């Protein structure tokens, strides 16, 4: 997930008042009164207030907060299961609050599928029939919906369970059926409202990992509601933190942990194991020097001497990482009059992506004292992580 991704949904100035005098509540809001004061004066509940954010194409956006923060209200406003009081929700050029009932129905069918906390499966229908249900009510041909449902069940690991009934499945498997039903509809956005909250902790963790892997394969734009910070940190590309119907902070898991917007967020994140969230991107350093694949031993020795290195990474012209060589071996090759370092290349050394959690980096420094190379998806060298930087960051996270 990157900042260059296209925007899928735009939410602008979204508010929701529960009560029969919304204008009065919003007027008091604009005068500076908070939710509790508005409720006391008017009996109106300000469920959401002036919400602004974008959802990027293909990201997994987590909306979280404590009970009553407005997170479930927000996700239901996106597809108008709850009518917004004011504001815009734009997807595919359509402004959802302004759509007629007929237009809204078509918009929902094209863009939104929803997975609920309570599974919402029909007990008298098989797994296959449950997965087909959304397609059935859309009038999709029987053969086509059977094929799509079977494919979606395979995606969530339920191949072979098509003829089982919900009461024959574990809680985690039932939730997978709900997820398969949403995927079968092939909508552009997946809405998940506390989808794993009813599962026991071990199954819940497994389902989080399943969702991460599914997201990696399908790149489905997903909005996930949770009250669990650990869950948000584990699965989210970005997190929106709500309090009393207002956005307190939007950021990546690492940004929320390391740069909390205020004392509320700082207290909210107390006790979290930051080493599971802080990544190699944060602790990596620039590479002082690299050798080219066509450099000779004397050139490589010069680069190592100039930069006080006892090992050096070797890259090609596109900066793709080929290996690492050590000073002793290069020195021997130079003395022997060799003109290539190819036979000296060591390829068995630690390398990670920029989003590797800090917790997994420290064990990589056992044995050989090579730094850990940080590479991108094209195997290009981005930087290095040294043991001292990891220890320093671990010490900082331990103090917080």
Q: What is the pLDDT of residues 196-224, one digit of tens each?
A: 887 787 778 888 888 888 888 888 899 99
**Cα 325 to the center of its chain, rounded Å:** 36
Final residue before a domain boundary, out of 234, 254, 272: 272
Final residue before a domain boundary, out of 272, 299, 315: 272
| Residue 309, domain member (yes or no) | yes
Distance CA 388, CA 349 (A): 18
pLDDT at 346 over 70: yes
pLDDT at 387 over 80: no
pLDDT digits (tens, 9 = 90+) for 25-74: 999 999 999 999 999 999 999 999 999 999 999 999 999 988 889 999 99
Same domain, 36 and 116: yes
Return the pLDDT at 179.
87
Average pLDDT over residues 369-383: 87
Q: Give the CATH number, domain containing residue 318.
A: 3.10.580.10
Residue entry with tokens 């002793």: 328
| Residue 353, domain member (yes or no) | yes
Average pLDDT over residues 296-309: 90
Same domain, 289 and 245: no
Distance CA 134, CA 114 (A): 10
Distance CA 277, CA 254 (A): 6
Q: Give the CATH number, domain containing residue 132.
A: 3.40.50.300
Q: Angle of helix 297-306 relative to helix 327-335, nearest 10 degrees?
A: 140
- Cα separations in angstroms, 178 against 175, 232, 302: 5, 20, 62
Return the pLDDT at 397.
53
Same domain, 15 and 123: yes
pLDDT at 345 over 60: yes
| Residue 230, domain member (yes or no) | yes
Band of pLDDT at residue 278, cut at 50, 70 and 90:
confident
Which residues sit opposite 357 in a β-bridge? 279
pLDDT at 274 over 80: no
Same domain, 320 and 232: no
Same domain, 241 and 285: no
Backbone phi, then psi, for 301, in 5-degree steps?
A: -60, -40
| Residue 1, domain member (yes or no) | no
Return the pLDDT at 182.
86
Q: What is the mean pLDDT of the chain?
A: 87
Same domain, 249 and 308: no
Return the pLDDT at 183.
86
Same domain, 285 and 385: yes
pLDDT at 144 over 80: yes
The winner for highest mean pLDDT among 257-261, 295-299, 360-364 is 295-299
Same domain, 292 and 249: no
Same domain, 261 and 383: no
Strands 246-251 and 238-243: what pairing?
Answer: antiparallel
Domain count, the chain: 2
Same domain, 215 and 317: no
99-103, 234-238, 386-390: which has the minimum mean pLDDT?
A: 386-390
Average pLDDT over residues 332-351: 89
More confident residue, 273 or 104: 104
Final residue before a domain boundary, out of 223, 240, 272: 272
Return the pLDDT at 164.
92
* List of residues 6+ apart from 142 with CB closer than 8 A: none
pLDDT at 255 over 70: yes
More confident residue, 181 or 282: 181
Same domain, 175 and 45: yes
pLDDT at 399 over 90: no
Strands 290-292 and 311-315: what pairing?
Answer: parallel
Letter string b/e over residues 310-333, b meaning 16 or more CB atoms within 10 A of that residue's CB: ebbbbbeeebebbbbbbeebbeeb
Total length of the chain: 400
pLDDT at 393 over 70: no
The winner for highest mean pLDDT among 7-21, 180-194, 227-241 is 7-21
| Other CB atoms within 10 A of residue 189 CB | 20
| Residue 123, domain member (yes or no) | yes
Residue entry with tokens 């399943």: 210
| Residue 2, domain member (yes or no) | no
Q: Name the residue range of residue 395's domain.
A: 281-399
Same domain, 156 and 80: yes
126-140, 277-291, 324-338, 385-399: which has the minimum mean pLDDT?
A: 385-399
Tell me which H or E stretch contains 333: helix 327-335
| Residue 311, domain member (yes or no) | yes
pLDDT at 4 over 70: no
pLDDT digits (tens, 9 = 90+) for 164-174: 998 898 888 88
């Amino acid at each position: 997930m990157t900042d260059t991704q296209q925007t899928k949904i735009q939410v602008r100035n979204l508010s929701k008042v529960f009560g029969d005098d919304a204008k009065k509540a919003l007027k008091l809001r604009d005068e500076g009164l908070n939710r509790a004061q508005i409720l006391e004066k008017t009996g109106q509940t300000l469920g959401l207030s002036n919400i602004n954010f974008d959802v990027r194409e293909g990201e997994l956006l987590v909306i979280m907060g404590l009970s009553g923060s407005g997170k479930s209200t927000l996700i239901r406003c996106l597809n108008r299961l709850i009518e917004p009081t004011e504001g815009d929700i734009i997807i595919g050029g359509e402004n959802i609050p302004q759509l007629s009932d007929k237009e809204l129905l078509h918009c929902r069918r094209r863009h939104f599928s929803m997975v609920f906390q309570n599974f919402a499966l029909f007990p008298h229908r098989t797994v296959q029939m449950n997965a087909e249900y959304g397609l059935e009510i859309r009038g999709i041909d029987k053969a086509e919906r059977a094929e799509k449902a079977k494919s979606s069940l395979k995606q969530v690991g339920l191949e072979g369970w098509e003829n089982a009934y919900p009461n024959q499945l574990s809680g985690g498997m039932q939730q997978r059926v709900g997820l398969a039903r949403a995927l079968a509809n092939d909508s552009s956005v997946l809405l998940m409202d506390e989808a794993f909250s009813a599962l026991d902790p071990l199954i819940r963790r497994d389902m989080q990992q399943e969702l991460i892997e599914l997201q990696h394969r399908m790149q489905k734009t997903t909005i996930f509601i949770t009250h669990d910070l650990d869950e948000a940190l584990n699965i989210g590309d970005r997190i929106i933190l709500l309090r009393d119907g207002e956005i307190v902070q939007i950021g990546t898991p690492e940004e929320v942990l390391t740069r909390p917007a205020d004392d509320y967020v700082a207290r909210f994140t107390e006790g979290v194991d930051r080493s599971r969230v802080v990544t190699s991107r944060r602790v990596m350093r620039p590479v002082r020097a690299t050798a080219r694949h066509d450099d000779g031993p004397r050139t490589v020795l010069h680069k190592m001497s100039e930069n006080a290195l006892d090992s050096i990474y070797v890259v090609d012209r596109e900066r793709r990482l080929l290996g690492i060589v050590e000073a002793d071996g290069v020195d021997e090759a130079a003395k022997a009059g060799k003109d290539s370092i190819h036979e000296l290349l060591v390829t068995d050394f630690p390398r990670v992506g920029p989003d590797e959690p800090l917790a997994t980096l420290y064990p990589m420094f056992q044995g050989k004292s090579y730094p850990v190379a940080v590479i991108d998806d094209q195997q290009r060298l981005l930087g290095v992580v040294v043991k001292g930087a990891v220890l320093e960051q671990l010490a900082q996270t331990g103090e917080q």
